[in-house]
């Protein structure tokens, strides 16, 4: 039997130059370096320059992903951008990325699933490839969360940062079993009952403002560990694998305690978890491709490794992808 598989043929990322440390935040709100590190593992975050918009970060990451895939922009037939901090209400940030990369064919659209955005975008792109409708897809997670933070609210403003990560997802023939390279299983979920636990208090049709991020942190935390362990269990079951088969978990980076708690629940050694939350904080849809690019470029993730990407975010939304590198 043959099957079309989606393989990650290139990765890239971009972080704005400006770094905001916990110490810097001590001068803005009633917080401390010790509290932030102990409760979240975060030491610093990158903040976009005033003249940068989300598509700028996305294009910088995408250009590096194209270079590492050895492809030109003209080879891309679909762009999917996961973001909750679009340049404009419309058109989509994806079409702006398309324009900036000089691509005039194919299609481009945004996906909005907050911190799960990259897993949603990857799952969508995988389905386009498996259906034979695309050959090389740019899947990008890009965010400027610093623009939707209430910088007077210490319970949220210390948690987030800006950045972008990108991959090129390419079609490759496989035999249809677990020996194939590429995405072997993916699952996405949402449960709108929890809509008001993590949200932005503004919007086009409600307030005609952008709004600020609001979160019931403890509740989100509680759901995150349970939902993430459960959805990772699903992709393992889909592929008849167990936790022992996993070489690397590349999780959404919200809180080091969530990463540790999920690994413990799955009985996976913390050594197999890629952690960037200390340096990047929570970059929402950008956090997984940022962490993935780092672990690929420093040689941790190598050919044939079984890699799991997982995320949970506002909505609630959550999901996981299992792939062979
Ligand atoms: O990306 C996906 C979505 N996001 C997440 O997954 C985040 C999930 N939640 C979390 O990571 C954690 O719940 C937080 C890091 C947000 C909070 O940690 P926590 O251990 O759940 O703390 P808490 O909310 O229970 O607050 C404990 C105390 C409170 O003081 P009182 O009421 O006990 O006197 C807070 O007011 O810590 C206080 N606090 C702070 N203190 C210093 C809250 N934020 C800060 C702060 N600095 N920045």
Domain boundaries, the chain: 3-174, 182-324
Q: Which residues line ligand 1 (CB under 6 A)?
A: 31, 35-36, 39-40, 115, 154-155, 158, 198, 217-218, 220-221, 224, 254-255, 258, 282, 312-313
Determine the pLDDT at residue 96.
Answer: 98
Interval between CA 256 and ligand 1 midpoint (Å): 13
Interval between CA 155 and ligand 1 midpoint (Å): 6
The single residue of 22, 227, 255, 282 carrying the catalytic annotation is 282
Best CA proximity match to 123, nearest among 182, 191, 190, 186:
186
| Mutational test site, ligand 1, from 85, 221, 225, max ligand atoms within 8 Å of CB | 221
Give the DSSP H or E segment for 262: helix 256-266
User: Looking at residues 192-203, what average pLDDT do you find?
Assistant: 98
Burial environment of residue 27 by CB neighbours within 10 A (0 to 12, 13 to 18, 19 or more): exposed
Cβ-defined contacts of 267-272 (< 8 Å, 24+): 267/243, 268/243, 272/246, 272/247, 272/248
CATH architecture of 182-324: 3-Layer(aba) Sandwich (3.40)
Determine the pLDDT at residue 267.
Answer: 95
115 counts as catalytic: yes
User: Residue 22: how many CB atoms within 10 A of its CB?
Assistant: 20
| pLDDT band (50, 70, 90) for residue 324 | very high
User: Could you read off the pLDDT of 242-281 as tens digits, one per residue?
Assistant: 999 999 999 999 999 999 999 999 999 999 999 999 999 9
18 counts as catalytic: no
Query: For residues 117 and 258, what is the distance between their CA atoms, to the nearest angstrom?
Result: 18
> In terms of pTM, does the model score above 0.85?
yes
What is the CATH code of the structural domain delimited by 3-174?
Answer: 3.40.47.10
């Amino acid at each position: 039997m043959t099957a079309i598989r989606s393989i990650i043929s290139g990765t890239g990322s971009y972080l704005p130059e400006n770094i905001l440390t916990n110490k810097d935040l001590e001068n803005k709100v009633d917080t401390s370096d010790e509290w932030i590190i102990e409760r979240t593992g975060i030491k610093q975050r990158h903040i976009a320059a005033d003249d940068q918009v989300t598509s700028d970060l996305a294009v910088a990451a995408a250009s590096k992903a194209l270079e590492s895939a050895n492809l030109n922009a003209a080879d891309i037939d679909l762009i999917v951008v996961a973001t909750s901090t679009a340049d404009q209400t419309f058109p989509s940030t994806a079409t702006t990325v398309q324009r900036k990369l000089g691509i005039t064919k194919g299609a481009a659209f945004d996906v909005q699933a907050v911190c799960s955005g990259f897993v949603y975008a990857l799952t969508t792109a995988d389905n386009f490839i498996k259906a034979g409708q695309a050959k090389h897809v740019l899947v990008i997670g890009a965010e400027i969360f610093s623009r939707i933070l209430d910088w007077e609210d210490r319970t949220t403003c210390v948690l987030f940062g800006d950045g972008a990560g990108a991959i090129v997802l390419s079609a490759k023939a496989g035999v249809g079993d677990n020996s194939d390279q590429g995405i072997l299983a993916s699952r996405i979920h949402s449960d709108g009952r929890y809509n008001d636990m993590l949200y932005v208090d503004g919007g086009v049709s409600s307030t005609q403002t952008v709004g600020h991020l609001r979160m019931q942190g403890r509740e989100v935390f509680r759901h995150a560990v349970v939902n993430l362990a459960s959805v990772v269990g699903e992709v393992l079951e889909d592929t008849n694998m167990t936790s022992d088969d996993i070489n690397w978990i590349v999780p959404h980076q919200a809180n080091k305690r969530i990463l540790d708690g999920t690994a413990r629940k799955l009985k996976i050694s913390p050594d197999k978890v890629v952690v960037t939350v200390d340096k990047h904080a929570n970059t929402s849809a950008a956090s997984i491709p940022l962490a993935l690019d780092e672990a690929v470029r420093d040689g941790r993730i190598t050919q044939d490794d079984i890699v799991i990407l997982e995320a949970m975010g506002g909505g609630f939304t959550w999901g996981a992808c299992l792939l062979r590198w």
